[in-house]
Amino acid sequence: MENKLNNEDEKCDEIKDSASNAKVDESEKALDTEMKKMTVTETITENSESGSGEDGDEKFVHPVRILTEAEIAKLQKDVTCVSDFKQNKLEKEAQKNWDLFYKRNTTKFFKDRHWTKREFDELCPVEAETGRRTVLEVGCGVGNFIWPLLQEDQSMFFYACDFSPRAVQFVKDNPNYDPSRCSAFQCDITNDDLSGNVPQDSVMRPGGSLLFRDYGLYDYAMLRFAPGHKLSENFYVRQDGTRAYYFTTEKVLELAERCGFDRSQSQCEYVQRETVNKKEDLCVPRIFVQGKFLKPKSS
């Protein structure tokens, strides 16, 4: 399916997203310049079964993105991964590196995400429903996901966490921050216990949903990494030490299944945002993976 979308916020957001790499690396600087020029048209392509790698190599077949021969050759050549020593260092310093990212960029990097209700019905108000709906956002950054929703829907309450203390402080300092409607806290979701910050059973109750969105396989930014940035299959480090994993839908489904979500009740797909500059005949295919996982009512 292909339809036109005029969504300045998401477009700018994704352009800026790639621009983060550009600040510190020459090859990525070129990308920044290239993407800043892209202001003309944006199209969305959702899953279709038609995509294929041009050289017929199964490994590079993708449901929404057809790789060029040059892109396939680049991926095939980029086989050397960063040393174990550096990988361990990056793992240990993950929190510090994201915190430094927010020190450098403050609240100016990501734009408010006004598209979330369009992508996730679950975030829309339910007419017959009374009482408040509670959402926990993991990796909230400086709050760009929660601000539009807080303004539009009085019935929502947000818990929002991030492992960068600076990002959390930016959330709390934002004029939209209202402690009666949201609670931001610092935590490393891979290690910390949430119970001190999120009352038990207030999120992920039976009948609740897990909503997922992150970078997808063969996203434009993934194909732009220079050699020396690869950590493992589909996993890369940016020049500033922050890392990006480019998910396959299968990987996300597998992870969700491991956490007890029933595959038959799950939805997971690639979403393509194509930013086009007609004047320069340039097209930047951003790929995301988007998933919805339902916690059974009786478990």
Positions touching ligand SAM (CB under 6 A) are 98, 110, 113, 139-141, 144-145, 161-164, 167, 188-190
- Contact yes or no for 268/184 (Cβ under 8 A): no
Would you mind telling me the total number of residues written for the chain in this entry?
299
Rounded to whole angstroms, the Cα distance separating 295 from 238 reads: 35
Minimum CB distance to ligand SAM, residue 237 (Å): 13
Q: Which two structure tokens, joined as six digits, stand for 105?
A: 């960029």
Minimum CB distance to ligand SAM, residue 276 (Å): 23
Minimum CB distance to ligand SAM, residue 115 (Å): 11
Q: Which two structure tokens, joined as six digits, stand for 246?
A: 């480019």
Region of 55 on the Ramachandran plot (φ > 0 left; ψ -120 to 50 alpha; else beta): alpha
Rounded to whole angstroms, the Cα distance separating 133 from 146 reads: 13
Our CB check for ligand SAM shows the closer of 157 and 185 to be 185
Minimum CB distance to ligand SAM, residue 214 (Å): 8
Residues whose CB is less than 8 angstroms from the CB of residue 113 and which lie 6 or more positions away in sequence, other chains included: 9, 10, 13, 144, 145, 148
Our CB check for ligand SAM shows the closer of 57 and 188 to be 188
Our CB check for ligand SAM shows the closer of 60 and 110 to be 110
**What is the b/e burial string over 245-277, where b = at least 16 CB atoms within 10 angstroms of the residue's CB?**
ebbbbebbbeebeeeebeeeebebbbbbbbbbb
Our CB check for ligand SAM shows the closer of 141 and 285 to be 141
Minimum CB distance to ligand SAM, residue 110 (Å): 4
Minimum CB distance to ligand SAM, residue 146 (Å): 9
**DSSP state letters, 230-280:** EEETTEEE-TTS-EEE-B-HHHHHHHHHHTT--GGG-EEEEEEEEEEETTT
Our CB check for ligand SAM shows the closer of 67 and 198 to be 198
Our CB check for ligand SAM shows the closer of 76 and 106 to be 106
Our CB check for ligand SAM shows the closer of 19 and 67 to be 19
H helices of the chain, in order, are 8-22, 26-36, 69-77, 84-92, 94-105, 116-119, 146-152, 165-173, 220-223, 249-258
Q: Which helix (H) or strand (E) holds 292?
A: strand 282-294
Minimum CB distance to ligand SAM, residue 98 (Å): 3
* Rounded alpha-carbon distances, angstroms, from residue 159 to 36, 91, 166: 33, 26, 17
Minimum CB distance to ligand SAM, residue 273 (Å): 14
Our CB check for ligand SAM shows the closer of 41 and 153 to be 153
